[in-house]
Amino acid sequence: MSPDCDKIKTSIDSLNQQIDDVMNAIRTAEADGIKTDPLKQQLRQLQDQKRGEALAYQRCLELQHARQEGLSLSFVIVTLLYAPPGKNSEVSYGTGSTTGSRFTVTSSSLSGYQIGESFGGQGEDSGDKGAIVGSGSIAVSVGTSDGQSFEIKKTTSSTVGMQSVADAIDHKKDQIYLWTNAELDLSQLGPGPIVAALRGQNSSDMIVVPVTTEELLDLSKLPDYKRTALAKLTPQDYKALLAVNPWASGGGLDTKRYVPISTSVQLDGPDHANDPIGFNQFDVSTEGVEGLIHGAIEKTSLSATITATAVLEGIAFGFSVGASMQQDYQTQTVTTTGSSQKATVKLKTSTVGYHDVIDIYFDTLFGSFAFVSVAPAGGFRPSETVVVGSLTSAGAPAANKRVDVTFANGRQRIVWTNAKGQYRLFAVPNGPLTVKVGGQKWQSVYEGRPLELTHKLVANP
């Protein structure tokens, strides 16, 4: 027993003696017919004081038997970013994006824990800045919305992104961001619940390592600085990381995990070698996605090492989690209302005659956007154009204008006019279509035959 508990116990013994003395005095006074009100008031005060000391003594004993440990995790996935199509294309997650993950940590003998105060706070605009190995930084907050799972979010004040160097979507360039110095701190007070918190080891700043699918598939391609930062990962860890990305593991598109965005976009190269190279920049958002998505869980095994064990009164209190644990990454529910996730996409290619239609999906596990090509390998040939539109303004070609097209099935597509004010459409469903430029609209019908459209912009529609 600690000296502090000894002092409280001595105080309780003294109060018990005082209470006995007062009770004896009350009995004597009552026998002699003397008023006992002052003595009874003194007795109540002593009893109240004893109750307070008893609670303090119980608390002191519980603290002696508190258990606390730090589990050094081999990795925690912060997010997974997907490569966009098109040479010199890029995707950026900045303001309006809190890309990240939501997950629980489980093992055969660790369950029912509660989430405590973790790294970086819990607000979208507050967080601790972590260093990205290689270059850059990322501000991240770790919190919980349900008390049972961790949420790692990039704060809206920081930006992460990636660029593409090929026209075709190359999932070998997808990047998974790994927190490599995470520690799961577990504590328990007496018989109370286990409380878990996720922090940097030894209260250090977060270290984040971006790793491409290509590097995971062939570890010899890991630069030395990444290899050093990932020294704790085992072959099983690398295998588990590959399984998180269906395009890296040979799986298909999981409709429970990926939500289709109702708007697709075209990637169009110049028609001739000397034509100017334009680019298509737009914001993609989860706002207005169709319905709800929930229920997908990606189970990822990881190794964990006990880094500390509390020893009290010669007794080691350990949480028997074994040598391995499991992270269950859970979907973030997507709705048609409320807050939305957003990314800025810039599509650009210098390849003459290259055309592709890109569908976009929201990855509910990691809050990022994945791109899926509709075209056959090598893209659509110019001869496969089914709709050609010409846009003029004041008698001159209206170049580099965004054109929004809505098809009969309700799907939308974004295209841009070239230097001649023309746009092409590929893979168009039969039926009515609406063309919109700014505040102006035109109606037409595609009937399975090549269709030419002409639109004139007016100054004040």
> Tens digit of pLDDT for each residue in 235-287?
888 888 888 899 987 777 887 788 888 889 999 998 888 888 877 888 888 77
Whole-Å CA distances, 185 to 152, 329, 402: 16, 19, 51
Whole-Å CA distances, 239 to 48, 259, 333, 388, 409: 62, 25, 27, 47, 40
Q: What are φ and ψ of residue 224, in 5° steps?
A: -60, -40
Token representation of residue 14: 């003294």
Find, among 367, 371, 378, the residue nearest to 346 by Cα. 371
pLDDT in tens, 8-51: 889 999 999 999 999 999 989 988 889 889 899 999 999 999 98
Helices (H) and strands (E) in the chain, counts: 5, 30
Instruction: Please give the Cα distance from 212 to 289 (Å, whole number).
Output: 29
Coil/strand/helix, residue 214: helix
Report the half-sphere exposure of 249 (CA within 13 A, side-chain side): 14
Instruction: Please give the Cα distance from 231 to 17 (Å, whole number).
Output: 63
Gyration radius (Cα) of the chain, Å: 32
Mean pLDDT of all residues in 163-182: 90
pTM for this entry: 0.75
What mean pLDDT is reported for the chain? 78
Residue whose token pair is 């190359």 = 170
Instruction: Please give the Cα distance from 105 to 188 (Å, whole number).
Output: 17
Top-confidence residue, 322 or 378: 378
pLDDT at 107 over 80: no
- Do 137 and 120 meet the contact criterion of CB atoms below 8 Å apart? no
pLDDT band of 116, cuts 50, 70, 90:
low
Please list, in sequence order, all residues whose beta carbon lies within 8 angstroms of the beta carbon of residue 20, skipping any fewer than 6 positions away: none
| Secondary structure in 3-state letters for 225-289 | HHHHHCCCCCHHHHHHHHHHCCCCCCCCCCCCCEEECCEEEEEECCCCCCCCCCCEEEEEECCCC
Let me know how long the chain is. Answer: 461
Find, among 292, 338, 321, the residue nearest to 69 by Cα. 321
pLDDT in tens, 278-310: 778 888 887 755 444 443 444 444 443 333 333
